[in-house]
Amino acid sequence: MFLLLAALMAVTGCTVDWSAAAPAGPAPESVGQGDVPAGTLPPAQASPALAALPVAAKASLDGYERGCGRGEGCVFGPAWADIDHNGCDQRNDVLHRDLTRVEVREGTDECVVIAGFLDDPYSGETVAFEKATAAEVPVDHVVPLAAAWVQGAKAWTADQRTAFANDPGNLLATTREQNSSKGDSTAEEWVPADPQYGCSYATVVVTVKQRFSLTVTAVESAALKSLLATC
């Protein structure tokens, strides 16, 4: 797929580093309060990266579709893709990374997570995960798909959007309450319930927007700058 993306970039002049959509190295064993996915910029680098992001108004949501696959937007492909070709879908990969005391279903090559505990980064609470109530621990797109659509992704190819939707650097397991509260909001509209995670949240957002050449609005940039000031 990445050979195809390289060819498309050569034709379109796109400057996004799509190789970053694949894991660059071992992911952290867990992502809890104050922690971020592997590859996230440290605060000292996130501030200048934020200043370098292009500032633009959000475009129209026209053309954006949801309800394809298991809750993902159709324009971002089916959920969840196995982008690293390890035989396990991206949701279960994230659960393996973010949960502790993980238990897996027999006969799934150690893939399907059936139990574990999550230190929710957004709220700071520890919650139990059980497969029977899996919806209680969704995987959140830190930079929401709808936000990405109106800040640059509308012009991408289908393969590029699939890569974005499954990028582990933009995914965090959280609680349904926090995920529902956040929705498609950006930083000027929503911040984590746990103020101690505000800095980390901002570094993830800036990292993802830099990696995929997404824009920010002026008010979003100001909100991210304020969060980074708490680091």
Confidence of residue 22 (pLDDT cuts 50, 70, 90): very low
Task: Write out pLDDT tens, residues 154-168.
Answer: 999 999 999 999 999
Q: Flag whether pLDDT at 12 surpasses 90.
A: no
**154-158: long-range pairs with CB below 8 Å, 24+:** 154/59, 154/63, 154/64, 157/5, 157/8, 158/75, 158/77
Task: Write out pLDDT tens, residues 74-99.
Answer: 899 877 889 889 999 999 999 999 99
CA distance 130 to 123: 19
CA distance 224 to 216: 10
- Write down the domain spans for the chain: 31-228
Global confidence as pTM: 0.84
